[in-house]
Amino acid sequence: MARSVKQPDAPLPPGTPAPPIDAPVSPDQRLSLEQFRGAPLVLVFYPADWSPVCSDELSLFNELLPEFERLGAKVVGVSCDGVWCHQAFARERGLHMMLASDFHPKGALSRAYHVYREDDGVCERALFVIDPEGKIFWSYVSPMEVNPGADGVLDALERLTGTFSSEAAGGQSQQEASP
Amino acid sequence: MSRLRIPVGSQDHLIGPPTARLTFVEYGDFECPYCGAAYWEVNKVLAAMGDQLRYVFRHFPLTEAHPFAMQAAEAAEAADAQGRFWEMHRLLYENQEALDAESLLAYARTLDLDMGRFARDLSEHRFLERIRRDFMGGVRSGVSGTPGFFINGRGYLGDFSAPALLSVLQGGDVGVPDYS
Query: pLDDT, tens digit, for every residue of B26-59?
Result: 999 999 999 999 999 999 999 999 999 999 999 9
Cβ contacts (< 8 Å) between B140 and chain A: which residues?
A: 151, 154-155
Torsion angles phi and psi, residue B59, rounded to 5: -80, 140
- Fold topology of B13-171: Glutaredoxin (3.40.30)
A160-164: long-range contacts at Cβ-Cβ below 8 A with a sequence spacing of 24 or more? A160/A40, A160/A129, A160/A131, A161/A40, A161/A71, A161/A72, A164/A131, A164/A132
Cβ–Cβ gap B142/A179 under 8 Å: yes
Identify the residue among A44, A55, A58, A59 best suited for mutation to test binding to B, counting B beta carbons within 10 A and taking the highest: A59
DSSP designation for A171: T
DSSP designation for B126: T
d(CA B45, CA B28): 16
Cβ contacts (< 8 Å) between B63 and chain A: which residues?
A: 63
What radius of gyration do chain B's Cα atoms show? 16
State which residue of chain A sits closest to B139, comparing Cα positions.
A151
Contact A14, A139 (CB under 8 A): yes
With b for 16 or more beta-carbon neighbours within 10 A and e for fewer, the A82-121 pattern comes to bbebbbebbeebebebbbbbbbeeebbbbeebbbbbeeee
DSSP per residue, B147-180: SEEEETTEEE-S--SHHHHHHHHHHS-S---S--
Torsion angles phi and psi, residue B69, rounded to 5: -65, -40
Instruction: Report pLDDT for A60.
Output: 95
State which residue of chain A sits closest to B144, comparing Cα positions.
A149
How close, in Å, is residue A118 to chain B by CA atoms? 27
Q: Show me where the domains of chain A are located.
A: 24-164
Write out residues 43-102 of B within 8 Å (CB-CB) of A.
Answer: 62-65
With b for 16 or more beta-carbon neighbours within 10 A and e for fewer, the A130-150 pattern comes to bbbebbbbbbbbbeeeebbbb
- The domain over range A24-164 is classified in CATH as 3.40.30.10: yes
How close, in Å, is residue B40 to chain A by CA atoms? 22
Length of chain B: 180
d(CA A101, CA A109): 9
Write out residues 64-103 of A within 8 Å (CB-CB) of B.
Answer: 64, 67, 93-96
* Average pLDDT of span A156-170: 65
Return all residues near B106 (Cβ < 8 A) that are at least 6 apart. Answer: none
State which residue of chain B sits closest to A57, comparing Cα positions.
B144
Cβ–Cβ gap B65/A151 under 8 Å: no
d(CA A88, CA B103): 32
For A55, A127, A134, B48, B137, the CA distances from A45, given in Å and listed in that order, are 12, 6, 17, 42, 24
- Residue A172 pLDDT > 60: no
Cβ contacts (< 8 Å) between A57 and chain B: which residues?
A: 144-145
Contact A76, A44 (CB under 8 A): yes
Residue A159 contacts B, CB cutoff 8 Å = no
Residue B132 contacts A, CB cutoff 8 Å = no
Cβ–Cβ gap A60/B2 under 8 Å: no
DSSP designation for A12: P
How close, in Å, is residue B106 to chain A by CA atoms? 29
Residue of A53, A111, A99 lying closest to A75 (CA atoms): A99
DSSP designation for A17: B
Q: What is the ipTM of this complex?
A: 0.86
d(CA A133, CA B16): 51
Q: How many residue pairs bridge chain A and chain B with CB atoms within 8 Å of each other?
A: 51
Contact A149, B139 (CB under 8 A): yes
Length of chain A: 179
Per-residue pLDDT of chain B (180 residues; tens, 9 = 90+): 489 999 999 999 999 999 999 999 999 999 999 999 999 999 999 999 999 999 999 999 999 889 999 999 999 999 999 999 999 999 999 999 999 999 999 999 999 999 999 999 999 999 999 999 999 999 999 999 999 999 999 999 889 999 999 999 998 655 544 443
Which of A94, A96, A149 is nearest residue B144 as measured by Cβ atoms?
A: A149
How close, in Å, is residue A151 to chain B by CA atoms? 5
